[in-house]
Amino acid sequence: MKDVLKELERRREIARMGGGKARIDAQHQKGKLTARERIDVFLDEGSFEEFDMYVEHRSTDFSMEKTKIAGDGVVTGWGTVNGRPVYVFAKDFTVFGGSLSEAHAEKVVKVQEMALRNRAPIIGLYDAGGARIQEGVAALGGYAEIFQRNVLASGVIPQISLIMGPCAGGDVYSPAMTDFIFMVRDTSYMFVTGPDVVKTVTNETVTAESLGGASVHTTKSSIADGAYDNDVEALLQMRRLVDLLPASNTSEIPEIECYQSVTDHDLSLDRLIPDNA
């Protein structure tokens, strides 16, 4: 029995390393946390229960069968935020750039359905480059399943998206259907296709920031609801947001203690509306 447990722990360690130390180091050099580090910051300590840690893709085209990594680019599970249950999935950029395969999509759909069934918020941490091109239509079909769950969950449970890296394609369609979108300044981008494709098709040169950076989506397009300076700040602010939201459309609204008298003047309200619209 001990041998079985040792083998299980060995496989867990391999799965936790994602794409390997070199890619994790590259992620840190860009000022970004890994998928598992983000989950650790966001959820209460020790509360995370992971699903489908050993799932691998099933593709055999383009010699993909020679490259399989446990988890297949997304970490899914549930945990608690200040004692309240939430479901979470985090794209792992160190594994195939976080790109979505058929198996990857099935993991996300599973956690979406569990959140809906248990009437709890679902939070997506995005850091990915869209569909896995090697799987073609199978990957795109996986996105269709995810979008369907976004629609079914709309108005039923809170759906929150954190854009924490260069996201394109389906990894921005899905967040656009959720209730809240937040971004990280200078490291996160949202666009349907990147600057290289825009250059090829329209011959227009644009930067990633001007095409889909946090400044554009929080001040011009209004796609995103807010932006933060780094991963940790964004994740801590999401913990605050979850505290303010009901768990579902059938749950009571959370009550938060307030120590300010209702008769006190709040001068900050005077600055809420700008002098010049």
Which H or E element spans position 85?
strand 84-91
Give the span between the Cα atoms of 32 and 38, in whole angstroms.
Answer: 9
Give the span between the Cα atoms of 91 and 111, in whole angstroms.
Answer: 13
Transcribe 192-257 into DSSP letters: SS-HHHHHHHH-----HHHHHBHHHHHHTS---SEEESSHHHHHHHHHHHHHHS-SSTTSPPPP--
Q: Which of 106, 100, 115, 121 is nearest to 173 (CA)?
A: 100
Q: What is the pLDDT of residue 84?
A: 92
Which tops the pLDDT comparison, 80 or 277?
A: 80
| Cβ(190)–Cβ(172) below 8 Å | yes
Give the span between the Cα atoms of 184 and 160, in whole angstroms.
Answer: 14
Compute the average pLDDT of residues 182-203.
Answer: 87
Task: Label residue 20 by pLDDT band (50, 70, 90).
Answer: confident
Compute the average pLDDT of residues 145-153.
Answer: 94
Give the span between the Cα atoms of 221 and 96, in whole angstroms.
Answer: 30
Q: What is the pLDDT of residue 268?
A: 82
Task: Label residue 86 by pLDDT band (50, 70, 90).
Answer: very high
Pull the structure tokens for residue 124: 């997506």
Which tops the pLDDT comparison, 209 or 80?
A: 80
Buried b (16+ CB within 10 A) or exposed e, 162-195: bbbbbbbbbbbbbbebbebbbbbbebbbbbeebb
Cα atoms in the 13 Å half-sphere on the side-chain side of 152: 14
Task: Label residue 232 by pLDDT band (50, 70, 90).
Answer: very high
Does 219 score more than 80 pLDDT? yes
Domain ranges of the chain: 2-271
pLDDT digits (tens, 9 = 90+) for 38-78: 999 999 999 999 998 888 777 777 877 777 788 788 999 99
Does 135 score more than 80 pLDDT? no
Task: Label residue 202 by pLDDT band (50, 70, 90).
Answer: confident
Question: Looking at 148-152, 230-234, 260-264, which range is the least confident one?
Answer: 260-264
Question: Where do the H-state alpha helices sit in the chain?
Answer: 2-16, 21-29, 35-42, 102-118, 137-153, 170-176, 195-202, 208-212, 214-219, 231-244
Does 147 score more than 80 pLDDT? yes
Class of domain 2-271: alpha beta
Q: What is the pLDDT of residue 47?
A: 93
* Sign of torsion over alpha carbons 171, 176, 179, 183: positive
- β-strand partners of 124: 89, 161
Task: Label residue 273 by pLDDT band (50, 70, 90).
Answer: confident
Does 27 score more than 80 pLDDT? yes
Q: What is the pLDDT of residue 16?
A: 81
